[in-house]
Structure 1
Amino acid sequence: MRTSKKIKIGNTFMGGGSPILVQSMLNIPSTDIENSVKQAVELENAGCQIIRFAIPNEQALDLIEPIKKATTVPLVADIHFDYKLAIGAAERGIDKIRINPGNIGSEDRVKAVADICKLKGLPIRIGVNSGSLEKHILAKYGSPTPEAMVESALYHASLLEKFDFDDIVISIKSSNVNTMIKAYEIAAEKCNYPLHLGVTEAGTERMGIIKSAVGIGSLLTHGIGDTIR
């Protein structure tokens, strides 16, 4: 049984023997605050323990306060490239940031995000996807192999570790279930960060359920995984 690092997310804990947390993501446009809040409440009522939503621009930061007022579960801001949005989300009261440090530019930007998250006590999730690996890693491995995806995840983690930040969660997603399982097995051996389990590009709803059940279930039975989507 793998024991991961225990981290605090809002009013709950992940890893370190804590119960496995179930999370989901809003799929309402960020401009529609009313229905975003409604969906967040519905997710919490359905048993969702962490809610994530995209912050594609500065306007989307306005989602954070009304959703926090309407729910009690930790909220995660999904940031892609703009480090200023991560800082803005932290200042607005988000509970966790999903961002890949290698995608946001200079070390100064990575440090700025790490510093505010450390100040606010926020963890950062690094999300590696088989369809968007770094060119230098793809060149090394030739394709998004399990080893390539783990190297990518640990590369991003190292950028945060450089600034003494280690409240990190890692996700490694592939549409190929066998690749996903192997990648998480390797990651579990190479680091003690909590692991977020999920299958990406899972296909139709039925196929997605099957792929997720097989991949996530297999890992959980071997003691790998701290949260599932």
Structure 2
Amino acid sequence: MKRNQTRSVRVGDLVLGGNDEVIIQSMCNVPTKNALAVIDQILELEKIGCQLIRVSCMDMEDAKAIKTIKEHIHIPLVADIHFDYKLALACIENGVDKIRINPGNIGSRANVEKVVEACKARHIPIRIGINS
């Protein structure tokens, strides 16, 4: 299989892209605010080889749960931000390793720039997702 040439990006202690190995990822299917259930799910996924995990961040309770989740897992954590740049900022403050945003649904350019600046300050990569 021919691989596309991509740039390497560090997410926690992993390196994605470039000539590095393909990373096994998954996403939790329970509300992030239910930190204990999320932690249990992630630990089970870790046991079967998951290397990167994504959670949905729908409200501030979800964003606050990031800190607790990070304290109990062993793989990098990605927050999928929905509709409010303040959720991204809270996830960044709580130790997330990567952010996934859709710039078109989190408000103004100024709000996107706040997220970008906060991520730059902490060397947190951003995945841009666009739904159309």
The verdict on a shared fold, with TM-score over 0.5 as the criterion, is yes
**Other structure's SS at 1:61 match:** helix
Choose the corresponding residue for 1:40, options 42, 58, 75. Answer: 42
Identity of aligned residues (%): 44
Compute the displacement of 1:7 (Å). Answer: 0.6
Alignment of structure 1 residues 24-173 onto 2, 5 Å: 24-129=26-131, 133=132
**Other structure's SS at 1:3 match:** coil
Compute the displacement of 1:20 (Å). Answer: 0.6
Larger radius of gyration: 1
Segments of 4+ moved more than 4 angstroms: none
Tell me how large the CA RMSD over aligned residues is.
Answer: 1.2
In structure 2, the residue matched to 1:176 is none
TM-score normalised per structure 2 = 0.92
Give the helix-richer structure, 1 or 2: 1
TM-superposition CA deviations, 1:126-166 (whole Å, max 9, x none): 2234xxx1xxxxxxxxxxxxxxxxxxxxxxxxxxxxxxxxx
Letter of the aligned partner of 1:80 in structure 2? Answer: H
Letter of the aligned partner of 1:72 in structure 2? Answer: H
The answer (yes or no) to whether the contact 2:64–2:91 under 8 Å persists in 1 is no
Rounded Cα–Cα distance in structure 1 between residues aligned with 2:35 and 2:69: 9
Q: Does 1:15 align with 2:17?
A: yes
**Other structure's SS at 1:128 match:** coil
Letter of the aligned partner of 2:129 in structure 1? Answer: G
TM-score normalised per structure 1 = 0.54
